[in-house]
Amino acid sequence: MKTIRKNVPNLVTVVLLLLGMLTAATAQAQATPQRLAGSATVCSNFPIPAGWVITSSYRSSGCPGTGVAYTIADSSGQTFATVCSMSPIPAGWVVTSSYSSSGCAGTGVAYSIGNVANQTFATVCSMSPIPAGWVVTSSYSSSGCAGTGVAYSIGNVANQTFATVCSMSPIPAGWVVTSSYSSSGCAGTGVAYSIGNVANQNYATVCSMSPIPAGWVVTSSYSSSGCAGTGVAYTIGNVANQNYATVCSFSPIPAGWVVTGSSSSSSCAGSGVAYSIRKA
């Protein structure tokens, strides 16, 4: 009896230590969820891992709160897939068609998607994400794009210096709009842009709706029939190797530059005011 009483505190200590270890292990497992392999079935409020897609959705009593379950799959190593319209689209993938599907509870619409990493041209639906460095070269009606009824032809301009795009196209970083005009090949807006890469230039003439690259300024503005939509063109310049410049008052001011004065200017149509700026 004396021996049992002597060991009781030790037994309690061991049990408490084991419970502590189990609790710590459980907390660590919850804090660092394991990567799913291949495919899985999850409830619709489950976060979808990066690079995974929803291949089907259906009603499920096993998912309290939402009542909907998803079948998900890893898109790594694949080039094509069929997904539900609420699925995340992996980076570098596009929607090539959309259609009604009973296998996608909640939206009733499925997408065919493809990886365009090794392509230079593709046809996509208008709700598709446009990969970085790609542009919309034309748009038109399409029965293969349920929901919008519009398809886009897109192209990768990574190795180009000039391109013609529709006005709803993203403009790649470092590119500018050099002219705009009416175009029947751009359903939805009816306007096309000529764009160019100014990475190796110091000056350019652009339309007023053009993005202005970082480190560039607007040095003058004037009326132009070559800029449909605004009717105004800008002369812009790269001031990376300068310390002083005169710009129109609506010009972006590069980081690290300050305005030192202002004056009236007939060369700045729209505001009539110019700024003197310098590198701080």
The overall pTM is greater than 0.85: no
What is the average pLDDT across 59-75?
95
Q: Residue 172: which H helix or E strand, with range?
A: none
Contact (CB, 8 A) for 108 and 101: yes
Q: Is the pLDDT of residue 80 over 70?
A: yes
Percent of all residues in the chain with a pLDDT value above 90, rounded to a whole number: 86
Mean pLDDT computed over 102-108: 96
C-alpha separations of 170 from 130, 137, 165, 176 in Å? 8, 11, 9, 11
User: What span, in angstroms and rounded, lies between the C-alpha atoms of 75 and 107?
Assistant: 21
**What is the dihedral sign for C-alpha 188, 194, 199, 201?**
negative
Alpha helices per DSSP H over the chain? 2-31
What pLDDT score does 166 carry?
98
For residues 192-210, give the mean pLDDT: 97
With contact defined as beta carbons under 8 Å apart, do 58 and 40 qualify?
Answer: no
Predicted pLDDT at 78: 94
Structural contact between residues 198 and 213, judged by C-beta atoms closer than 8 angstroms: yes
Query: What pairs with residue 246 in β-bridges?
Result: 276
Q: What is the pLDDT of residue 15?
A: 31
Least confident residue range of 2-16, 58-72, 171-185, 192-206? 2-16
Residue 37 has pLDDT above 70, yes or no: no
* pLDDT of 165 over the 90 cut: yes
Is the model's pLDDT at 101 over the cut of 70? yes
First-to-last CA distance in the chain?
Answer: 87
Share of the chain above pLDDT 70, in %: 87
pLDDT at 230: 96
Q: What pLDDT sits at residue 24?
A: 33
pLDDT at 4 over 70: no
pLDDT band, very low/low/confident/very high, at 2 (cuts 50, 70, 90)? very low
Task: Look at 28 and 44; give whichever has higher pLDDT.
Answer: 44
Res 28 pLDDT > 50: no
Question: CA–CA distance from 62 to each of 59, 74, 272 (Å)?
Answer: 9, 23, 67
**Predicted confidence band of residue 8 (pLDDT cuts 50, 70, 90):** very low
Residue type, 59: R
Task: Say which amino acid occupies 177.
Answer: V
| 25 three-class SS | helix
142 φ, ψ (degrees, to nearest 5): -150, 125
Please determine, for residue 16, whether its predicted confidence score (pLDDT) is greater than 50.
no
What is the per-residue pLDDT for 38?
85
| 214-258 pLDDT, tens digit each | 999 999 999 999 999 999 999 999 999 999 999 999 999 999 999
CA distance 247 to 210: 16
- Residue 31 pLDDT level (bands cut at 50, 70, 90): very low
pLDDT at 100 over 70: yes
Percent helix, strand, coil in the chain (nearest 5)? 10, 45, 45
Mean pLDDT over each residue of the chain, to the nearest integer:
89
pLDDT computed for residue 269 by the predictor: 96
